[in-house]
Chains A and B, each alone.
Chain A
Amino acid sequence: MLRVENVSVAYGRATAVREVSLTVNDGEIVTLIGSNGAGKTSLLNAVAGLVPVKSGAVWLDDILLSGLSLHQTARLGFGYVPEGRQLFGDMPVIDNLILGAYPKSARNRLSLLGYVGWFTRRADIRTNLESVYRLFPKLHERQSQKAGSLSGGEQQMLAIGRAMMCSPKILVLDEPSLGLAPNLVKEILQLLGRLREEGLTILLIEQDAVAALKIADRGYVMERGRIVLEGTAGELLGNDEVKHAYLGRALT
Chain B
Amino acid sequence: MNIMMLLEMAAEAFGDRVAIGDKTTGMTYSQLADQAGKTAGWLREQNADRLIYVDESAPTLPVALFGSSWAGKPFVPVSYRLQTDRLNTLIQRQAPAVVVGGANVASLINPADGLTILANSEFSNSWSEVTPPSADWSSEPEDVAVLLHTSGTSGDPKIAVLRQRHLVSYVLGSCEFMSAEEDEASLVSVPPYHIAGISAMLTGVYQGRRIVQLPAFEENEWVRLAREQEITHAMVVPTMLARILEVLEDGKGLPALRHLSYGGGRMPLPIIERAMELIPNVNFVNAYGLTETSSSISILGPDDHRDAMASDDPAVRKRLGSVGRPLPSVEITIRDEDGKEVPVGTSGEVWVRGEQVSGEYAKQGSTSSDEGWFQTKDGGFFDEGGFLFVEGRIDDVIVKGGENLSPGEIEDVLLDHPSVREVCVIGLPDVEWGEIVAAVIVPAEGSACDDEELKQWVAKHLRSSRVPARFEYRVELPYNDTGKVLRRVIREELKA
| Same complex origin of A and B | no
Residues of A within 8 A of B (CB): none
Residues of B within 8 A of A (CB): none
